[in-house]
Amino acid sequence: MENSLEDGKCNKDHIKDLANWRQACDRTKDKTKDLLKRWRTLPEIETEKGKNDENVEKDEHSDSGWSVHVWTTWVDRFSIESEADNKENCQLTPTQNNKFSHFFSCLLDHDQDNLISEQDFETLIERLRHFADWSINSPEFNILREVERGFIETFLCDISDEKLGFTLNGEVYLTKDGWLHKWSQLTFGSKNLCDFPIWLQFFVKVLFQVINRCGSGIITRDELSAFYSSVLGLDTVKVGEILDIAYQAMTSNGDHPLIYKAYRLCFANYLLGRYPNGPGQYILGAPPNALSSAMFPVDYSALNTQPEDLEQYAPDQKTNRRSVIV
């Protein structure tokens, strides 16, 4: 009899605990739902309409009574990709204009008439062959001829603007503006050397072999000096001015030998470098004003501006300021 009473009492206590537990869960669920509802409407997470494009994904589970809200916001940051969408990015920077104009004048336009033709490319290839002392039947020279064909097909074809080039007596002539325009098309959207035509990639390899005439696999300071003098036609004074600076830049102050891999990186910097940073500007000798330009120039104009003319900083406003005082 006593056991039955004790069992009945235990059952009642169990039922009472179960009811209390369910009531507590219901209250917790209600409080949690209320907390989520309040959190969703907090002022600090609300954004003004039109400032941000938001994709709101809602997944509601009707059987449990819970609602899960996920907010995702796309942030448009200024980057190379967004800049590439601008047509102005297709234009060469002053540094690139300087480098490719130097290529045009130093290696191709020897009569200084601001015009080049197929004959000028043939002369360049022959000069490289003669400097490297290759026979006309050597595989290296055959590669040079393919490079020449790539230059001609890329730069002397599809010229529709008279400012860029013209045809006279069956001969196509390209102006310096046309030369720069073609380079702007080649460099536009390119991120590394592999993005350029295959003939240009071979040109890097064959140019390394031309400079490294002994075939050691490492371009020495003397070999670079001979290339500057014989192929580029720089005088002794000019070579003396740029040789040490160029070789130190391409070898990281002599810490790394100028092997093909390093030379390839330097040439990629020559093609892709939009500003005077890196050793690429010395690939074909230093262009005019290259040595006098600062690698990271500092604009001090804000320090010389009157206080009333200074533009106040506002994080939500766009500005054209070039200098910031910190």
pLDDT tens digits, 103-156: 999 999 988 899 999 999 999 999 999 999 999 999 999 999 999 999 999 999
Domains of the chain with CATH codes: 87-282 (1.10.238.10)
Tens of pLDDT, residue by residue over 17-35, are 666 666 665 665 555 556 5
Whether this model's pTM surpasses 0.75: no
Q: What is the helix (H) or strand (E) element at residue 70, kind and residue range?
A: strand 66-73
DSSP classification of residue 120: H
Count of helices and strands (H, E) across the chain: 10, 7
Interatomic CA distance for residues 265 and 249, integer angstroms:
12
Q: Has residue 78 got a pLDDT over 50?
A: no
User: 53-67, 100-114, 143-157, 192-206: which has the minimum mean pLDDT?
Assistant: 53-67
For the chain, the residue count is 326
